[in-house]
């Protein structure tokens, strides 16, 4: 008589599913347009490695609840009913310093762009961004990048080039460090910077550490803010 052995495949599959959910990027969304909110939630929910944990119709609702949801990335509209998205970012960063905030808005003027970055936004996309690019931007910002649409990146870059009275800290950077900083401002990841400047990843990390030391900052976002406040 043969004794039936339990098939472990079901248990293994279940454990893999639990592990995958635990490792998924947790995404929250602040947007007053319910149709768009639902559409983005479905898009993100279908993407591998992403999980929607909350969505809010106002900044006030988000600030009251979002800490309990422990998001990794927050998609933030600017034109909200009462408190706007820029102020929401400022308060959200004080509440959850490690959360990554990706602005998703119809506005592409310099004032809203720079105010968002100064408030603590880690990336800036337009609502007309194609769905696949939005999903990749969420992954990129979680990995430490600063995704921006090409039009937005060009505005930041032009601001960098046109600034005629740089702060002493910027002037203290070497030519190579300034090149690396330009790429940081444009949202490029370390691998992209290494390829563009034909240097190693360790070389990029070395220059970034020196930039942080000279600008007296501790992160890419702080370096961009220091640059924009010149």
pLDDT tens digits, 212-223: 898 888 777 777
Instruction: Give me the half-sphere count of Cα atoms (radius 13 Å) on the Cβ side of residue 30.
Output: 31
pLDDT tens digits, 1-60: 455 566 665 655 454 544 455 688 999 999 999 998 899 889 988 898 999 999 999 999
**Radius of gyration for the alpha carbons in the chain, expressed in angstroms and rounded:** 20
The pLDDT of 165-177, averaged and rounded, is 79
Between 134 and 189, the higher pLDDT residue? 134
pLDDT at 17: 47
Average pLDDT, the chain: 82
- Report the SS3 class of residue 74: strand
Q: What residues contact residue 205 under an 8 Å CB cut-off, 6+ apart?
A: 190
The pLDDT of 57-75, averaged and rounded, is 95
In the chain the domains, ranked by start, together with CATH numbers, are: 9-148 (3.40.50.2300), 163-228 (1.10.10.10)
pTM comes to 0.65
pLDDT at 15: 47
The pLDDT of 67-85, averaged and rounded, is 94
pLDDT tens digits, 111-158: 788 888 888 888 888 888 888 889 999 998 998 888 887 777 777 766
Between 205 and 159, the higher pLDDT residue? 205
Instruction: For the sheet with 73-76, list strands across it.
Output: 50-56, 25-30, 73-76, 100-105, 123-126
């Amino acid at each position: 008589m043969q004794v039936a052995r339990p098939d472990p495949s079901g248990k293994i599959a279940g454990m893999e599913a639990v592990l995958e959910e635990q490792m998924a990027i947790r995404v929250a969304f602040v947007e007053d347009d319910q149709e768009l909110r639902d559409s983005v939630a479905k898009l993100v929910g279908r993407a591998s490695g992403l999980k929607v944990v909350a969505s809010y119709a106002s900044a006030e609702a988000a600030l009251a609840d979002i800490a309990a949801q422990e998001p990794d990335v927050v998609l933030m509209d600017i034109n909200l009913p009462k408190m706007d998205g820029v102020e929401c970012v400022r308060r959200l960063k004080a509440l959850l310093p490690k959360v990554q905030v990706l602005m998703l808005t119809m506005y592409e003027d310099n004032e809203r762009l720079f105010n968002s970055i100064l408030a603590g936004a880690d990336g800036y996309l337009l609502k007309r961004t194609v769905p696949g690019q939005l999903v990749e931007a969420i992954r990129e910002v979680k990995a430490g990048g600063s995704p921006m649409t090409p039009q937005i990146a060009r505005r930041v870059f032009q601001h960098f080039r046109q600034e005629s009275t740089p702060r002493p800290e910027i002037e203290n950077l070497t030519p190579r460090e300034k090149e690396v900083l330009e790429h940081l401002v444009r949202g490029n990841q370390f691998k992209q910077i290494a390829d563009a400047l034909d240097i190693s990843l360790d070389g990029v990390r070395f220059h970034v550490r020196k930039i942080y030391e000279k600008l007296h900052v501790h992160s890419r976002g702080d370096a961009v803010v220091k640059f924009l406040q010149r």
